[in-house]
Amino acid sequence: MSNITAELAIEKLNNQFGDQIISSEMLYDFLTVTVARKSVKDVIKFLHDDAELNCHFLTTMCGLHYPDQAEQFGMMYQLHNMVANFRIRIKTFTSDAEPAFETLTDIWPSANWMEREAYDFFGFRFHGHPKMKRILNMDSLEGWPLRKEFPLEDPFRADKDDKMFGR
């Protein structure tokens, strides 16, 4: 069984991608690497294809929204090499008002639903995705419910009595 360390992964990523690796840190025993958006798919494909790192399982991918930052939108990907029990988290950010990322469905077909979820809740687009449409919310929903500016309550509901909620 291979013994993959965070140092080995960072060394390989830095050697392959140089200044496209923005930062790396250990967060709660989880290697977290921030990557330039234009290179994120190449980095992920490298982690998947590299014989030693062999990150063959896409555990999670989800949208991020930090409205107080210059690059307020981001994607987070968690990859896993189950044989070596090695995990890595990849993050990328953008300031684009309508964020778009490259699809990972050609690497992992299971990315399909995760990308649709990021579209459904954050409005993120994925270039090359085979069927980008809402997956959980109604097609008629306006807006993106996990963006921070989305209202917590529907201001147009007439059937709610605020007395019942201590207001």
> Quick one: pLDDT at residue 166?
60
Within a domain: residue 155?
Answer: no
pLDDT band at 21 (very low <50, low <70, confident <90, very high): very high
Do the Cβ atoms of 81 and 73 come closer than 8 Å? Answer: no
Within a domain: residue 79?
Answer: yes
Total of domains in the chain: 1
Within a domain: residue 158?
Answer: no
Within a domain: residue 167?
Answer: no
Does the pLDDT value for residue 167 go beyond 60? no
DSSP string, 96-137: -SS-EEE--TTT-TTHHHHHHHHHHHH--EEET-S----SSS
pLDDT band at 94 (very low <50, low <70, confident <90, very high): very high
**Residue 108, domain CATH:** 3.30.460.80
Within a domain: residue 1?
Answer: no
Collapsing DSSP to helix, strand or coil, 45 comes out as: helix
Within a domain: residue 32?
Answer: yes
Q: How far apart are CA 36 and CA 30, in angstroms?
A: 20
Within a domain: residue 161?
Answer: no
Does the pLDDT value for residue 34 go beyond 70? yes
Does the pLDDT value for residue 1 go beyond 60? no
Does the pLDDT value for residue 32 go beyond 50? yes
Domain of residue 54: give its range.
6-150
Q: What does the pLDDT look like over 37-78, one tens digit per residue?
A: 999 999 999 999 999 999 999 999 999 999 999 999 999 999
Tokens representing 17? 């991608």
Tokens representing 38? 């234009």
Does the pLDDT value for residue 84 go beyond 90? yes
Do the Cβ atoms of 143 and 156 come closer than 8 Å? Answer: no
Q: How far apart are CA 78 and CA 90, in angstroms?
A: 6
Q: Which helix (H) or strand (E) holds 35?
A: strand 30-35
Q: What does the pLDDT look like over 104-160, one tens digit per residue?
A: 999 999 999 999 999 999 999 999 999 999 999 999 888 899 888 887 766 666 777
Within a domain: residue 64?
Answer: yes
DSSP H stretches of helix in the chain: 6-17, 40-49, 111-122
> Quick one: pLDDT at residue 56?
97
Among residues 35, 34, 54, the alpha carbon closest in space to that of 45 is found at 54
Collapsing DSSP to helix, strand or coil, 36 comes out as: coil
